Structure 1
């Protein structure tokens, strides 16, 4: 496919649209009419603009039976993410919309403004049993368009009203805009927050996750949350061999100085289209180091770019993986940071009123 976009696109993570092959879309690569239509919809290739489409699903709470994640239900208020993290494992989900996991994922976004109403309807069902809801497990609930739509805030308001536990994972200090709600939820043991930081190098972050909050702002936000009594967790995710792993110790040390309670790390995952997108990113930003990075990735992933198996996808193997684990444990011990243990209170839950009226007490 002829490249319509120059490499090194400023302010974006992906360097192309990377047409997915899993759904029979590869034949479009030579479809000139389709490529022309891209320009009609998005404008000239060098002028990438973010668009948002409102989506109105029938339900908002997603359930899973995955044996290697600590939650069984989640809410994703948005599809796609403007943060543009090149390593984001959620990128392939855009292929289900007949869109590219590359640039479309970070420029053609979808918002679900009915999320709080739909959640209220689900929580009101007589058979519903509360267990903490995870937010930010796919796309970021505090990406820039949250300032306009405030969907995450509406969900938190509902959770506070009905006393339902919730966890949040984000790469944005915008979460502090909801500090009032988070503080009230924390006082009732109804919330835990994880902020993901990959590096303390602002320039590197600008390449990896170009529209996420700066690492310094994210670290500062962790400190504010911890000081406010909100269970705060630093997630070093992902750890990219020979790119970001050198920052593991300093991230944990700084988090410990801020009294952050727990930490975790997740190795780089490259499912489906993320692998070629990441390789392309390496060829643009680290051409001299790309082979080394992918060699280590394959060594911890049983010789492949990605290991999709349950349990093993979260637990890399081999000498490099053992080294990362040892470094992480030692850094946490030095910083006085423990392992994350989510134990939120489900006993306070009170079924909502479908009239939508909030309680005064």
Structure 2
């Protein structure tokens, strides 16, 4: 991480507007922790007249490997073995993002740092080509991504995801993508090429149809109607699409489940999934702070519902419970999901990707079958 540059993609209309987190909680790995409160940050921005512009800093990530192995013995509820994350951190700023604590391994905060300091693997396409060329690689499906959104706003400028898909399309490398950004439609040509070989699947995250809630909860992600349009165009182009109602937050968006699934089915999705809100580590403080600032009248009830679905706690990390929760509240959410998934015909199996057409890139630029 030796190279940094800054850019700004808009002019927010208030202090820290357009960002999800209102504070930078202390790093859990540090002996001395400084919690910077949102009110202080707002005051500083007003004093320096900086509320008109919020800048994102991008650092060069010099990782020497790209494809990550997910051990099924350690994560039996994940469902995939290989991932690629061209970025670390995410500008979308989703307040609930379970990936936020990963920034603490970098000496940063899971709060504002996560959405304003982005690490980019600028060599990702070249690394991918090198790793697909290894004799040990057999063209197994890859998921993009596990801890970031590969179509976050900076991707429009850096085009790392586009570069990765160009390599995958040439090699017919099967890939699944999950996003909440309509920018995925930019790469429709490459996705269609992969679809010819049953080598691509897309999942679009749709958490709410309420534009106000979406703007507060996922400030830089695409508008819900644009995500539905992404589902529509992907499906029309022959790319199989799953809608992910994730996360479901009891007392905040759980009642939208029937409408979410109906809208996604009408747009062309053929399968659906959901995940209960996950609040590991410092995200608990971030989420409760956000909830109290944006929905003060409902904050106590929402927290109570979350605890009811988590055995009295705010989070349970045990496999088998962390994605779905437990107790009557969690069971009710699961029952509603299954009922309306069936009603709207979203019961199709997740599209099985094929590695049959995979070809390995040679150093001279030619291709060879594995």
**TM over 0.5: same fold?**
yes
- Listed as ranges, the matches of 1:20-39 within 5 Å are 20=27, 22-28=28-34
Distance 1:178 1:358, change over 3 A: farther
Choose the corresponding residue for 1:300, options 309, 316, 319: 309
For residue 259 of structure 1, report the CA deviation from its aligned partner: 2.5
What CA distance in whole angstroms lies between the structure 1 residues aligned with 2:92 and 2:60?
19
For residue 76 of structure 1, report the CA deviation from its aligned partner: 0.5
Conserved 8 A contact 2:131-2:137: yes
For residue 131 of structure 1, report the CA deviation from its aligned partner: 1.2
Alignment-derived partner of residue 229 in structure 1: 238
Structure 1 residue 18 and structure 2 residue 5: aligned? no
Alignment-derived partner of residue 82 in structure 2: 73
For residue 25 of structure 1, report the CA deviation from its aligned partner: 4.7
Distance 1:102 1:45, change over 3 A: farther
Q: Could you give the per-residue CA deviations for residues 36-70 of structure 1, whole angstroms, max 9, x where no partner exists?
A: xx99xx99688531111121211011111121111
Choose the corresponding residue for 1:182, options 177, 191, 209: 191
What CA distance in whole angstroms lies between the structure 1 residues aligned with 2:121 and 2:291?
33
Q: Which moved more, 1:326-335 or 1:84-93?
A: 326-335
For residue 315 of structure 1, report the CA deviation from its aligned partner: 2.3
What CA distance in whole angstroms lies between the structure 2 residues aligned with 1:125 and 1:306?
40
For residue 81 of structure 1, report the CA deviation from its aligned partner: 0.6
Q: Could you give the per-residue CA deviations for residues 120-143 of structure 1, whole angstroms, max 9, x where no partner exists?
A: 111111122221100022110000
What CA distance in whole angstroms lies between the structure 1 residues aligned with 2:98 and 2:298?
22
Alignment-derived partner of residue 336 in structure 2: 327
What CA distance in whole angstroms lies between the structure 2 residues aligned with 1:95 and 1:182?
34
What CA distance in whole angstroms lies between the structure 1 residues aligned with 2:329 and 2:310?
10
What CA distance in whole angstroms lies between the structure 1 residues aligned with 2:280 and 2:35?
21
For residue 162 of structure 1, report the CA deviation from its aligned partner: 1.0
Alignment-derived partner of residue 4 in structure 2: none
TM-score computed with the length of structure 2 as normaliser: 0.88
What CA distance in whole angstroms lies between the structure 1 residues aligned with 2:302 and 2:146?
25
Alignment-derived partner of residue 263 in structure 1: 272
Conserved 8 A contact 2:360-2:367: no
Choose the corresponding residue for 2:153, options 110, 130, 144: 144
**SS of residue in 2 equivalent to 1:254:** helix
- Listed as ranges, the matches of 1:59-98 within 5 Å are 59-65=65-71, 66-98=75-107
Choose the corresponding residue for 1:161, options 156, 167, 170: 170
Conserved 8 A contact 1:15-1:102: yes
User: Where do 4+ consecutive residues of structure 1 move more than 6 Å?
Assistant: none
Alignment-derived partner of residue 219 in structure 1: 228
Conserved 8 A contact 2:88-2:118: yes
Which runs of no fewer than 5 residues in structure 1 stay unpaired?
Answer: 1-6
What CA distance in whole angstroms lies between the structure 2 residues aligned with 1:71 and 1:9?
36
What CA distance in whole angstroms lies between the structure 2 residues aligned with 1:246 and 1:14?
24
Q: Could you give the per-residue CA deviations for residues 281-318 of structure 1, whole angstroms, max 9, x where no partner exists?
A: 01101112111111111111122111111222112111
Alignment-derived partner of residue 310 in structure 1: 319
Alignment-derived partner of residue 122 in structure 2: 113
For residue 350 of structure 1, report the CA deviation from its aligned partner: 1.4
Alignment-derived partner of residue 58 in structure 1: 64
What CA distance in whole angstroms lies between the structure 1 residues aligned with 2:49 and 2:78?
40
Conserved 8 A contact 2:22-2:286: yes
For residue 342 of structure 1, report the CA deviation from its aligned partner: 3.3
Structure 1 residue 349 and structure 2 residue 358: aligned? yes
Choose the corresponding residue for 1:244, options 253, 256, 259: 253
**SS of residue in 2 equivalent to 1:26:** coil
For residue 9 of structure 1, report the CA deviation from its aligned partner: 3.5
**SS of residue in 2 equivalent to 1:338:** coil
Q: Could you give the per-residue CA deviations for residues 148-196 of structure 1, whole angstroms, max 9, x where no partner exists?
A: 1111111111111111100000010000000000111111100000000
Conserved 8 A contact 1:83-1:143: yes
Conserved 8 A contact 1:264-1:340: no
